Amino acid sequence: MTDLLHHPLVEFTTEHAPLQFINEHGQRVENQHNAEFDQYLAHLSVEDLKSFYRDMMVVRRFDVEATALQRQGELALYAPLLGQEAAQVGSGRALATTDMVFPSYREHGVAHTRGLDMTKILQLFRGVNHGGWDSFERNFHMYTLVIGSHALHAVGYAMGIQQDAKLAQARGGQEAAAQAAPEAVMVYFGDGATSQGDVSEALGFAAVNNAPVVFFCQNNQWAISVPNHLQFKSPLYLRGTGFGVPGVRVDGNDVLAVHAATRWALDYARHGHGPVFIEAVTYRMGAHTTSDDPTKYRTREEEAQWRAKDPIDRIRRALEDEGVWSEADDAALTAELEGFGEYVRGYVRSLEAPPVTSMFDHVYGSPNALVEEDRAWFTRYQESFVDGEGDAQ
């Protein structure tokens, strides 16, 4: 795996080798390093492994459909996650329902694992609203388009969890506090966000407050058009060390390794040990968004090297080698994906433009006189336009 990480400016040794359970050939890996994490996979059945594969295939189909819809003019923009399915499904499936997730703008696979209908995400990319879902229904916060800022939001939320626990203890005693399910927070960001001051500030706040938060960095090798070697000179998983935050590097294309590392990190955070930094080494096989052209800043050879390490192919080979994936499984999944694709296309094309005054609906959580005054003025302004027949537009 270390060959995936080589760069002249970064010294990668076995010391920095990422955690791995399935290699790029779909073969099981056993070594001293992953033996420490074995216990975090012990609960998985064969059906669980098959469901990991299914989830990754559903997420990829969503990605293909959304990209095509943007090219057809049905979406204004789209941020593909092609190649990052294992990092997102493996980590998302490690979360408890009570944990809170702060995503950036590419975490469609994590949204799927939280039970969110991924098509709702496309309301944002079609431009009909600012999100399309309630953050607290699935404990999955709204997408954040500003790079890295949500790391501070996540730490603030985690510190709130701590305060709530202290209040519960004060009101109900030690026994009541102990019975409450411990919660954790997970924040997702890319390698480019680690160059933002917000992420460093968040690490500092989280460390000194012992906040129950996991920083999950998907190192997909490129911050839009800027490669890793122009962003940092030491492995990213060590970024938290100076702040007192332990880190683990994981093969982000190995869904089992990601799952094990994330379960460990969440347990560590939930039980009062403080924050953890996870670096999932993966690759963004698509564009940063549909508004850029990756052929302008990276080579076909580089893309081909990573396509050979496709995270979905890897788990598929493992299932086949272990004789637990059948032709009937394949036929059922293919039919499901076809139906899902049709649903995504139909949903997006059914979305209509919202009322122009809807931008005033969610400014505050409770009625606000100034906002209502602005709404009334804007309504009168809109009604002041008339068409050729003398009717209001």
pLDDT tens digits, residue range 130-183? 888 999 999 999 999 999 999 999 999 999 999 888 888 788 766 666 666 789
Determine the pLDDT at residue 5. 39
| Known active-site residue 71 | no
pLDDT digits (tens, 9 = 90+) for 5-21: 334 333 445 678 999 99
| Known active-site residue 284 | yes
Catalytic one of 112, 126, 284, 314: 284
Mean pLDDT of 62-69: 98
Are 204 and 244 in contact by the 8 Å Cβ rule? The answer is: no
Alpha carbon distance 60, 269 (integer Å): 30
H helix count then E strand count, the chain: 12, 7
Amino acid at 4: L
Determine the pLDDT at residue 170. 81
pLDDT digits (tens, 9 = 90+) for 171-217: 876 666 666 678 999 999 999 999 999 999 999 999 999 999 999 99
Which residues make up the CATH 3.40.50.970 domain(s) of the chain? 32-354
Catalytic one of 297, 343, 364, 381: 297
> Residue 2 above 50 pLDDT?
no
pLDDT, mean over the chain: 92
Concatenated DSSP letters of 357-382: GGGGTTSSSS--HHHHHHHHHHHHHH
Comparing CA positions, the residue from 167, 137, 263, 161 lying closest to residue 210 is 161
Determine the pLDDT at residue 1. 39
Determine the pLDDT at residue 16. 86
> Residue 109 above 90 pLDDT?
yes
Mean pLDDT of 373-384: 94
Report the predicted TM-score, pTM, of the whole model to 2 decimal places.
0.91
Dihedrals phi, psi of 338, to nearest 5 degrees:
-65, -45
Comparing CA positions, the residue from 140, 128, 157, 69 lying closest to residue 104 is 140
Q: Which fold would CATH assign to domain 32-354?
A: Rossmann fold (3.40.50)
Are 281 and 287 in contact by the 8 Å Cβ rule? The answer is: no
Catalytic one of 106, 288, 314, 317: 288
298 Rama sector, left if φ>0, alpha if ψ -120 to 50, beta otherwise: beta
> Residue 316 above 70 pLDDT?
yes
Determine the pLDDT at residue 132. 82
